[in-house]
Amino acid sequence: MRTFMHGAEVWGVVCPQRPSRVAGVTMAGFRVHDLGALRMVPHPAVTLLLEFGAGSPVLDCAAGRQQRGSAVAGPGFGSGGAVRARGENVECVQVRLSPVIARAVLGVSPADLDGAVVPLDDLWGREASRIRERLGDVSPWRDRFALTDALLAGRHEAGPSVDPEVAWAWHWIVSSRGLARVDALAAEVGWSRKRLWSRFRSQLGLPPKRALKLARFDHAAHRLVAGEGAARVAADAGYADQSHLHRDVMAFTGLTPATVAAERFLAVDDIAWPGRGTPAEPHVSGDLRRRPPL
């Protein structure tokens, strides 16, 4: 277990020694004695939080709504900076799922999450309680990761897949770091822009243009955390100018680019999510394996 320190807060962070058997899955383990008001920063993945142990994380959402315990949130969750996580004696496995496999693993489309956080009990029923108990019963983190991975692999194998055209479009949105164009994506898969929008939105939970903005923001935000200046990040990440970067960062986090660079949710990524925790995308076969249209 490695230690992540942010001010007076100390987190224990663990990464699996082996990649998941399911392409599109990354995970990390956390142990935090006192988690104080952690701002949730949007990320281009579906988040699955599996908690266990004595404590329980609490998500404070918009309009005073709270969510305790294991939960699921769609891609881009936390936009506007309105969601905070807190808790004492928190132990959990946090899983990042590619939206391409999320429907198979979760049993519902990310679109059904409607941009909100959903209790895992609502999706998995008694299975959510069983996985919590089993994670609490094993001690080594390698066993917790193995248990989680076996669960996800079994659900993925039995679940439905998305259209290959949708999977391909998502793959290149992430690979291009948000610099692909919707018209070019639609043309490459042989669909109209309207059809791509409809199928993409219904299967992945957000429209292509929003996915592009989210992927571009994610790349830019991590460069800001790494200490790069806003002007350079804006120019290199595909923004029209620094004001454009400022607007997007404010829309996703409620913060200025200078302030978001110190956010703990982003700062821990180098430890918890090697390669920034964006899941390696599932294999896309056939004629759809082309260069990203930029």
CATH (residue range 2-158): 2.60.120.10
- In CATH terms, 164-288 corresponds, of 2.40.10.10, 1.10.10.60, 3.40.228.10, 3.65.10.10, to 1.10.10.60
**Which among 73, 70, 67, 2 is positioned nearest to 31, based on CA atoms?**
2
Domain with CATH 2.60.120.10 in the chain: 2-158
Whether 203 and 159 have beta carbons less than 8 Å apart is answered as no
* pLDDT tens track, the chain, 294 positions: 899 887 778 899 999 999 999 999 999 999 999 888 889 999 999 999 999 988 888 999 877 788 899 999 999 999 998 899 999 999 999 999 999 999 999 999 999 987 789 999 999 999 999 999 999 999 899 999 999 999 999 999 998 999 999 999 999 999 999 999 999 999 999 999 999 999 999 999 999 999 999 999 999 999 999 999 999 999 999 999 999 999 999 999 999 999 998 888 888 988 998 765 566 666 565 455 455 545
Q: DSSP letter at 150?
A: H
Q: Which pairs from 181-185 meet CB under 8 Å and 24+ separation?
A: 181/293, 181/294, 182/208, 182/209, 182/212, 184/293, 184/294, 185/293
Coil, strand or helix at 10 = strand
Q: Where in the chain is the domain with CATH 1.10.10.60?
A: 164-288
Query: Following DSSP, what letter does each residue of 153-220 receive, concatenated?
Result: HHHHHHS----HHHHHHHHHHHHTTT---HHHHHHHHT--HHHHHHHHHHHHSS-HHHHHHHHHHHHH
Distance CA(223)–CA(22), nearest Å, equals 28
Q: Which residues are bridge partners to 48 per DSSP?
A: 72, 95
Say if residues 266 and 227 touch (Cβ distance below 8 Å).
no
- pTM value > 0.95: no
How far is the CA of 125 from the CAs of 31, 85, 95, 105, 204, in angstroms? Answer: 25, 23, 19, 14, 23
Q: Using CA atoms, how far apart are residues 47 and 261, in angstroms rounded to an integer?
A: 21
User: What is the Cα–Cα distance from 200 to 21, expressed in whole angstroms?
Assistant: 25
